[in-house]
Amino acid sequence: MVSINPEPVNAPQAEEAKLETRRLKLTKALLDQIWVHGEAAYPEEGAGLLLGSDINGERQVTAILPIDNAREDTARHNRYLITAQDMLAGEQQAMRLGLDIVGVFHSHPDHPNQPSEFDRQWALPWFSYVITSVAQGAAHGSRSWRLADDRSQFTEEILFVTNE
């Protein structure tokens, strides 16, 4: 098993305490699929849905649903769009598998794997957001984030990657 233990980014102490119980687990094979999707989308942002379960704040991702970026051509280099139809398809796929949508993944071409202000403005509380930095077409790292209920900031959660 590989454990990536991040430090909180601009998080108050109460949020830091939650970091210990907030984590997103996924297999290396799923993370590899997320990286391949981000690399294939480069130099545009790639995105998709994380399907799994949430038990007391610990998330287990057991499937992903890559999605074509529906944003207009001129904005895809630094924006992604998941449509209502994409979300419906994700909900239906999750139901077939006995899972829930627990988050969203997307890539940041030639930018760090941390949320932008635009990400914060458009994100939804509760979901996990896995952001992968793709530099010059190659994925270089992923981090996971959750938006505060008051939408004021993201808090990084532990991204726990297993071999199986």
Q: What is the pLDDT of residues 17-67, one digit of tens each?
A: 444 568 999 999 999 999 999 999 999 999 999 999 999 889 999 999 999
From the candidate CATH numbers 2.30.40.10, 3.30.420.40, 3.40.50.720, 3.40.140.10, the one assigned to the domain spanning 25-146+154-162: 3.40.140.10
Give the span between the Cα atoms of 143 and 105, in whole angstroms.
10
CA–CA gap between residue 109 and residue 135 (Å, rounded): 6
Q: How far apart are CA 43 and CA 52, in angstroms?
A: 28
The whole-model pTM stands at 0.87
Residue with tokens 């294939």: 40
For residue 64, what is the enclosing H or E element? strand 58-67
Q: Are 161 and 23 in contact (CB under 8 A)?
A: no
Taking only the tens place, the pLDDT of each residue in 55-110 is 988 999 999 999 999 998 888 898 999 999 999 999 999 999 999 999 999 999 99
Chain segment 119-145, per-residue pLDDT in tens:
999 999 999 999 999 999 999 999 999
Domain ranges of the chain: 25-146+154-162
